[in-house]
A and B are shown apart, each in its own frame.
Chain A
Amino acid sequence: MAGLLLLMMLAACDRAPAPAAGVPRATLAELGKLAFFDPTLSASGRQSCASCHDPAHAYGPPNGLAVQMGGPELKDAGTRAVPSLRYLRRTPIWFKAMQTNLRERLTDADNVPTGGFTWDGRFNTMAEQARAPLLAANEMANASKAEVVRRLAASPNAVRFREALGADIFQRPEAAFAALAEALQRFQLDDPSFQPYDSKFDRVLDGHAQLSAQEARGLKLFSDPDKGNCASCHIAQPGANGAHPLFTDFGFQALGVPRNAEIPANARADYYDLGLCGPTRTDQSTDKAYCGFFKTPSLRNVATRGAFFHNGRFHTLSEALRFYVERDTAPRQWYPHEPFDDLPATLRDNVNRRNAPMTNRGGGRPVWSAADVRDVVAFLGTLSDADAAQVTR
Chain B
Amino acid sequence: MKAVRNRKAWWGVSGLVLASMTALLVGCDWSPEPVPGPPTQQSIKHVFVITMENKNFSDTFGSSTQNPYMQGLAKQGALLQQYYGTGHVSLDNYISMMSGQPSTAETQGDCFAGFNDVVSIGTDAANPKVIKSQGGMGCVYPKEVKTLGNQLTDIGLSWKGYMGDMGNDPTREAKTCGHPKIGTIDNTQAAQAPTADVPLGDQYASRHNPFVYFHAVIDDQAYCDSHVVNLDASLQNDLKSVDTTPNLVFITPNLCDDGHDGDGTGAAGKGCVNGAKGGLASIDAFLAKWIPIIQASPAYQKDGLIIINFDESADILPAGQTVVNGKATVVLNLPGDSCCGQQTGPNVTRPADSFLPVSASLQYQLHYQGVGGDRVGAIMLSKWIAPGTISATPYNHYSLLKSLETIFQTNGFLGYADYKNLATFGADIFTNLR
Contacts and interface: CB of A to CB of B under 8 A. Distances in A.
B321 to A, nearest CB: 13
Nearest to B359: A349
A354 B356 CA distance: 9
Interface string A85-100: 0000111111111111
A3 B274 contact: yes
B339 interface: no
Interface in B46-70: 53-55
A4 B271 CA distance: 13
Contacts, number: 144
B307 interface: no
Interface in B162-194: 170-174, 178, 181, 184-185, 187, 189-194
B364 interface: yes
Given A100-B261, A106-B364, A241 B193 contact: no
Chain B, interface size: which category? 35 or more
Nearest to A7: B199
Given A240-B171, A354-B357, A95 B273 contact: yes
Contacts of B276: 2-3
A280 interface: no
B278 interface: yes
B279 to A, nearest CB: 5
Interface stretch (B239-247, B262-270, B409-417): B262-270
Contact of A100 (B54, B275, B366): B54
Interface centre among B88, B112, B187, B274 (most CB of A within 10 A): B274
B431 to A, nearest CB: 32
A327 to B, nearest CB: 12
A299 interface: no
A232 B185 contact: yes
Given A3-B275, A232-B185, A241-B171, A109 B266 contact: no
A240 B173 contact: yes
A55 to B, nearest CB: 20
B275 A6 contact: yes
A392 B181 CA distance: 41
Given A10-B199, A89-B196, A239-B171, A353 B272 contact: no
A174 interface: no
Contact of B170 (A14, A92, A96, A239): A239
A14 B196 contact: yes
B421 interface: no
A2 B358 contact: no
Nearest to A106: B364
Contact of B193 (A5, A92, A100, A101): A92
B288 to A, nearest CB: 14
Interface in B20-79: 53-55
Contacts of A353: 357, 359-360
A96 to B, nearest CB: 7
A101 B171 contact: no
A349 B279 CA distance: 31
A7 B274 contact: yes
A95 B358 contact: no
B371 interface: no
Nearest to B89: A104
Given A103-B334, A349-B361, A239 B172 contact: yes
B81 to A, nearest CB: 21
Given A95-B193, A111-B190, A3 B178 contact: no
Contacts of A125: 196
B142 interface: no
A11 interface: yes
B16 interface: no
Interface centre among B184, B185, B277, B362 (most CB of A within 10 A): B185
B138 to A, nearest CB: 17
Nearest to B279: A100
B197 interface: yes
A115 interface: yes
A114 interface: yes
A189 interface: yes
B201 interface: yes
Interface in B79-114: 88-89, 112
Given A6-B274, A7-B199, A98-B269, A93 B193 contact: yes
Given A107-B364, A349-B359, A350-B359, A7 B200 contact: yes
B259 interface: yes
A85 B263 CA distance: 35
B264 A5 contact: no
A235 B189 CA distance: 14
B39 to A, nearest CB: 39
Interface in A1-37: 2-7, 10-11, 13-14
A94 B192 CA distance: 10
B332 interface: yes
Contacts of B178: 240
B195 interface: yes
A96 B200 contact: no
Contacts of B323: none
Contact of A109 (B181, B187, B197, B356): B356
A90 B174 contact: no
A102 B316 contact: yes
Contacts of A90: 171, 195-197
B190 A114 contact: yes
A243 interface: yes
Given A100-B262, A100-B314, A239-B171, A91 B277 contact: no
Contacts of A111: 189-190
Interface of A: 2-7, 10-11, 13-14, 89-104, 106-107, 109-111, 114-115, 125-126, 189, 232, 235, 237, 239-241, 243, 249, 349-351, 353-354
Q: Ordered nearest first, which 8 A-B pairs have the shortest CB separation? A: A239-B171, A6-B275, A92-B193, A3-B276, A243-B171, A3-B275, A101-B54, A95-B193
17 contacts: A3-B272, A3-B274, A6-B274, A7-B274, A89-B197, A92-B195, A96-B269, A97-B191, A98-B262, A100-B53, A101-B316, A106-B316, A114-B193, A126-B196, A237-B185, A240-B172, A354-B357
Interface of B: 53-55, 88-89, 112, 170-174, 178, 181, 184-185, 187, 189-197, 199-201, 259-264, 266, 269-279, 314, 316, 332, 334, 356-362, 364, 366
Given A100-B263, A103-B334, A111-B189, 10 more contacts: A2-B276, A4-B275, A10-B194, A89-B197, A98-B263, A99-B54, A100-B54, A101-B314, A237-B185, A351-B359
